[in-house]
Structures are given as structure tokens and as C-alpha cells.
Amino acid sequence: MPAPAWLRRQLSGPQGVLARPMAHLLNRLNGADYQRALKRLDARAGETVLELGFGGGIGVRALLKAGVRVIASEPAVDMRSRAHRRFSRALATGQLEVWPHAAEQLPQRDVDRALSMNTVYFWDDIDTGFANLRRMVTRRVVLGIAHPQHLQEVGFAAHGFRTESIDWYAGRLDSAGFRTRIEPAPSPNSAGLLIGEPHDL
């Protein structure tokens, strides 16, 4: 059954009175996928990791706990405000930076690794976003991508969101300058992982 339009809009950028419950929902829905993705990301203490579209903050919390320096970029104002409240100590010590940029607008900055879970459907320009990741990432990028049939069933296509296969994204990421591999999703409703490493690594 398709998800209601208001829910699909909130998934792309939680805001208003629904921002807090949506943050909790996103953390719950993405919890198992994040565990798999963080394992494949293999970030080491002292490295710098960019997370694009951090949503409810489950990934940011795990990375900070691992001793990683985090750049968390999120276009949704309410999610950034929540991150400022929840991670105030990490912000004060410089272990965390919170950016307002979408994937297509990232500034110049070198990072060791990058992570983004279930966000690529909402990017305006995949090729520009992937080119920015290639410009910034020196070691590895991990993207969580749901099965297109699942996205279509919940109504993403009808609302104008992208519902491409993980193989399609792999081709685009490869063209941007990464060697890519795919780890299939363990179930139809979970995300497959697209893992890329720069060709010159």
C-alpha cells in the first residue's frame, strides 16, 4: 500500500511538529541497515567521515562513539537543530560539524570516508553529487539504497522521487571515479549497500 503523501514528504526532509517523531521513526527503520553500513564503512578513530542526510542522527551517534571526526550535512533545518541539541558536546569540542548542504552543494573539503543511507532518491542531481563525493573522499563511500520495487510500492515514483536500481547507481558512481561493489539487501524492505573506493587508491 502506498505511503501517504505527507509521509513521503517528511521522509525527504522532516520538518515542523512532525520532525521529532520522524527522527525517531527514521532511526528505527534504518537501524539494522546502519549497522551493516557502518561495518562496511570501516571508519577508524581519528579519521574524518562525511554523513550526507543524517536525518535522526543514528549514524552520527555511532561514528562519534567510535572516535571519528564527523561532518554531518543535512538540508532539513529541523534535523540540524535537533543535532545541535543532541550533540552539543561534540560540536563544542570540534569532533562534529553540522553543515546545511545537499550532495550537489558540498564545499571543498577532504574527508577519509562518506556515508549516506536512503537519501539518493531525493538528490536533485546524482552525477553532481557523486562528483562531489569523488572530489572529497580519499578512502571509501558507502551508500544505502532500497530496492526499486519497494520504493515504487510505497509511492516514491508517484511523488517524483527517484526509484532506480542499485546497479544504476553503481554505474553512476563508477563513472564518477570509484571502483564499486554491491552488497545485496538481506530482505526486500531493507537497503542494499553500494561501496565505492577511489580508482587511484
CATH number at residue 30: 3.40.50.150
Domain that holds residue 113: 5-198
Residue 113: predicted pLDDT: 98
* Count of domains forming the chain: 1
Q: Which amino acid is at 176?
A: A
Q: Residues 27-46: pLDDT tens digits?
A: 566 658 888 999 999 999 99
Residue 3: predicted pLDDT: 47
Distance CA 108, CA 115 (A): 17
Q: Residues 160-200: pLDDT tens digits?
A: 567 789 999 999 999 999 999 999 988 877 889 999 999 98
Q: Which amino acid is at 138?
A: T
5 pLDDT more than 60: no
User: CA 36, 18, 165, 114 torsion: positive or negative?
Assistant: negative
pLDDT class for 141, splitting at 50, 70, 90?
very high
Q: Residues 144-157: pLDDT tens digits?
A: 998 877 666 655 54
Q: Residues 44-59: pLDDT tens digits?
A: 999 999 999 998 899 9
Q: Residues 66-124: pLDDT tens digits?
A: 999 999 999 988 889 989 999 999 999 999 999 999 999 999 999 999 999 989 988 99
Residue with cell 515542523: 16
Is the CB of residue 59 less than 8 Å from the CB of residue 115?
Answer: yes
